[in-house]
Amino acid sequence: MYALQPLGLYAQDKVLEDRLASQRLDRMLDALGRTRADLTVYSDSNLPQVAGDLETLWPPDDPPEGVPLHWTRPLVFTMQHLEGEAPDCSELLARCPEGTRAHTINALNGWIRTRGYRSRASDKERHLVCWPAWEFGTQTGCPHGCQYCGDGKSGKFIALGMNLEEYVEQIVGPTLAENPWQKCFRMIAWNSDHIAFEPEYGMFDLATRKCAEFGDRFMIFHTKAANVDWLAELEHKEHVICLWSVAGKEAARIIEPSAASSLERFEAARKCQEMGLSVRFKFKPFVPVRNWREDAAEAVENLFSCARPDSIGITVLMWMGAEALRRRIDVSLLDPEFVEAMDAAEEDLQGVQSGPFPIEKRLEVYRFMIDEIRKHDLDVNLYVSTEAPEVWDAIGDELGQDGRRFLCGCGPVALPGAKLGLSAEFNCSTWEHEGFPDE
C-alpha cells in the first residue's frame, strides 16, 4: 500500500474485537510502519471528541517534507454497516464541537455506502449517456488530492470498512447472483481509490475469489494509482480489469497533486498488460489547462509507448457549475478561452450535468483527442464517457462506435479482450429506454 504518513490513526473498538478485521488492521499498520500503540481507539463514549479532532487535524500547519500533502490525511478504521440507512446522529452531533459534520459521525460509525446503482432513469434525468450498473465500495475519502473532487481537495480523513469478509458474502456475492446480466463491477468506493491500500487491505483478493465462483464476472479498479505489483501474486487476477483515469503530465501535476504521475500510471498499465490483464484508459476528467493540446498529445504518445488498451474514453471536466469550479480550481491554470466560454455560458448551464463548459468547447477537446489517438492506433475503441446525447450525435462517426452499444472502460458488459457482452436481457446503453427489464 501507499507509504502514507497519516496525522492520526483511529480505530473503532469493534475492529479490535473482530478477529479478521483486527488482523487486517495489523497488516496495514505494519505496512505504515506503525503499531497499535499509535491508535486512538474510540467507541460511542469518546466518538464526539474524535469527530472534533478529525474536523481540525488536517491539513497540517507544517506538512512533512517529501510526502504528498494528501497522504497525511488521518485514517479511520471502522466496521462498516452492511444494511439499512444511516441512523439519526443528532444526539451524538449535539455532543460534538461546533462545526462537526454528520458525515464525520456516520463515517466513524461505519455508515459508508456499500453499493450503488446507476439507473436508466437517473441518466435520463441528468441527460447523460452511460450504462446502468451496480458498483461497490467500502471506503470514503482519498489520498490523491484531485482539485476537482470535493473530498480530494478538502476531505479531512479517509475511512475504511474493515469487515471485508462479511461485506463480500453479504453484499458482493448476492449482488452478483441477482444480476446475471452484469459481468463487470467497479470496486470504486466513494471518492476513494481502493488499490492505494492493496494488498494489505485485501479487498481485491476477496472480491476476485467471489468472481471466480461465478466464472464469468470481473472486478474493475478505477484508479489514479501506480501501486500494481501486488497483482502478480493475486490468485484470481484473471478476474481483474484495470482502468486508469489519466491526464497529461502537466495536468496531472497541478490538478491531481498527490496521485501517481502521468508516466507512472502508464508504466503501471504496462506491468498489468504484461501480467495478461485487461487494460483501459480514460482521459476523465479532461481538465483544459494552459497548453492542454501539447500536454495531451505527449500523454497519448506516452500511453501507446507503454500499452495497447481495450478502450480509451474522454470526458471534459463536468458535474459542477462554474461557481463550484472556481472554488476548487485556480482558473489562472486553465486555458483562457475555456474560462471565457465557461463564464459566458454560466447562466445557460446552471444545473446541467455536462457543464460548466459549453458543448462546442467540449467537442473541440474530443475532436483533438480523437485525431491524436488515431495517429497511433486506428482500431482502439474510443468513446465519450457520461456525456450528453448531443455529443454522440455530433462525433459518433468520428469515435467509430454507436452510442447505444459502445465498449467503454468500466461498463457492466465491457468484457476483457475488448468484447461487448450484450444479452437479450441487456442490450443497450442508457441512450435508449425500451426493451429492458424493469429496474
Host H or E run for residue 183: none
Please measure the distance between the N-terminal and C-terminal CA atoms of the chain and give it in whole angstroms. Answer: 38
pLDDT of residue 432: 64
CB 243 within 8 A of CB 409: yes
Q: Are β-strands 381-384 and 311-316 bridged in parallel, bridged antiparallel, or unpaired?
A: parallel
d(CA 118, CA 186): 12
The CA-atom distances, in angstroms, between 277 and each of 28, 186, 239, 241, 280 are 26, 15, 9, 7, 10
Is the residue at 8 inside a domain? no
pLDDT of residue 431: 87
Positions in the chain short of pLDDT 70: 432-439
d(CA 294, CA 130): 29
Which residues sit opposite 404 in a β-bridge? none
162 Rama class: left (phi>0) / alpha (psi -120 to 50) / beta: alpha
Residue 349 structural domain: 112-420
Is the residue at 431 inside a domain? no
CB 80 within 8 A of CB 138: yes
pLDDT of residue 437: 42
pTM, rounded to two decimals: 0.96
Q: Residue 112 corresponds to which amino acid?
A: I
The domain total for the chain is: 1
Is the residue at 88 inside a domain? no
Is the residue at 84 inside a domain? no
Q: Residue 407: give its domain's CATH number.
A: 3.80.30.30
Is the residue at 33 inside a domain? no
Backbone angles phi, psi at 218, to 5 degrees: -140, 145
d(CA 185, CA 239): 10
pLDDT in tens, 150-160: 999 999 999 99
Is the residue at 22 inside a domain? no
Q: Which residues of 401-424 are buried (b: 16+ CB within 10 A; e: fewer)?
A: bebeebbbbbbbbbbbebeebeee
d(CA 90, CA 264): 44
Tell me how many degrees the CA angle 375-381-382 measures, rounded to the nearest 5: 75
Is the residue at 5 inside a domain? no
Q: Are β-strands 75-78 and 115-118 bridged in parallel, bridged antiparallel, or unpaired?
A: unpaired
Is the residue at 9 inside a domain? no
